[in-house]
């Protein structure tokens, strides 16, 4: 019997506009597009491990793939064999992720204006010497 399970080693995936996943497959040196149910409908073979992929470019149809011969970051730093690869595909990305709103900007205190103001948070310096404990007091 033929084993139909998908086998891939991936650290990153991305969703396209048709609901398929692009999966970086480090073990098999490729990026694959997989539909629900596990059917591989497109494959980009690069001949080396693909560790991350994403769809980008102006129209979302450029898959970017981070590739290197293996997982060993020390060997990759010494040999400088990592690559950023790209090509073109028909189906664009599913859209841009929604980011949370940025935190509110706190007004900066202006220095040198001639007025003193206290900020909401006040720093209190610790005492220079610790108070004597009851056991160290004499004559009590």
pLDDT digits 0-9 by tens, 118-127: 544 544 555 5
Task: Give the SS3 label for residue 63.
Answer: strand
| Alpha helical stretches, state H, 3-134 | 73-79
Per the confidence metrics, is the pTM higher than 0.85? no
In tens, the pLDDT along 67-103 reads 888 877 777 777 778 889 999 999 999 876 666 777 8
Q: Is residue 53 part of a domain?
A: yes
Q: Is residue 3 part of a domain?
A: no
Give the phi and the psi of residue 34 in degrees, each rounded to 5: -125, 130
**Domain enclosing residue 62, as ranges:** 13-86
CB 39 within 8 A of CB 72: no
Domain count, the chain: 1
Q: What angle do CA 78, 22, 89 make, to 5 degrees?
A: 100
Does 98 reside within a domain?
A: no
In a domain, 94, yes or no: no
The answer as to whether 38 is a domain residue is: yes
Cβ 65 vs Cβ 50: under 8 Å: yes
């Amino acid at each position: 019997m033929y084993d139909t399970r998908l086998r891939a080693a991936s650290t990153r995936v991305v969703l396209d506009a048709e609901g398929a996943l692009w999966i970086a497959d480090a073990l098999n040196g490729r990026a694959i597009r997989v539909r629900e149910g596990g059917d591989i409908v497109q494959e980009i073979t690069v001949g080396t491990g693909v560790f991350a992929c994403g769809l980008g470019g102006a129209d979302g149809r450029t898959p970017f793939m981070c590739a290197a011969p293996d997982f060993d970051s020390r060997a990759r730093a010494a040999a400088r064999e990592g690559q950023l690869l790209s090509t073109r595909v028909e189906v664009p990305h599913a859209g841009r992720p929604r980011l949370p709103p940025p935190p509110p900007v706190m007004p900066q205190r202006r220095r040198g204006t001639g007025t003193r103001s206290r900020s909401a948070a006040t720093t209190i310096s610790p005492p220079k010497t610790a108070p004597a404990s009851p056991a160290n007091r004499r004559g009590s």
